[in-house]
Amino acid sequence: MDFEQADALNQAIRLLSLRHRARAAALLAPLGLHPGQEALLLELARSGPSIQTQLSEALGCEPPSVTLMVRKLEAAGHIRRAPAPADRRASIVELTDSGRELTGQIKRLWCDLAEETVTGLSAETVADLPGILRTLSGNVDAKGRHPHNDGRP
């Protein structure tokens, strides 16, 4: 791939990421949420009560970030923590009634955001996008596992 094509691709990915996050932030703000917190709430809705380490792995973020999100969401009454029976040092995190209600609102916003994002694309392209994006993410995650074979460092 030449630089022009690489630059166009990297710029498009960067701009999409920035604009999508900004739009998500604008949609979440009226709910009193910041980007990232919705992912934690949706993960709890999907998986049920979880320890913070599991949440960190599922969300792909560092444990201190999850701890901070959990504290803020607990203070807002959307989740609760309890010591894990098997390991008193670990906390089990679960949705409260308020969190379950908020998750329903987040799901509606997420549908709206997805529809805004793919406006103008064919149904076939939209159906292919999740797989394409997962492949791109996997390629970036695997960056250290595929050394260049063409002499570049």
Query: What is the pLDDT at residue 141?
Result: 83
Query: What is the pLDDT at residue 146?
Result: 47
Claim: this prediction has a pTM higher than 0.95: no
- Domain parsing of the chain, residue ranges: 3-143
Condensed to tens digits (0 to 9), the pLDDT of residues 36-74 reads 999 999 999 999 999 998 999 999 889 999 999 999 999
151: confidence class by pLDDT, cuts 50, 70, 90: very low
Q: Is the pLDDT of residue 114 over 60?
A: yes
- Share of residues in the chain with pLDDT > 90 (%): 78
CATH (one of 1.10.150.80, 3.40.50.1820, 1.10.10.10, 1.10.1060.10) for 3-143: 1.10.10.10
**CB neighbour burial string for 47-84, b if at least 16 within 10 angstroms, e if fewer:** eeebbbebbbebbeeeeeebeebbebbbebebbbbeeb
Q: What share of the chain is helix, strand, coil (3-state, %, to 5)?
A: 70, 10, 25
Residues 16, 52: contact at Cβ < 8 Å? Answer: no
116: confidence class by pLDDT, cuts 50, 70, 90: very high
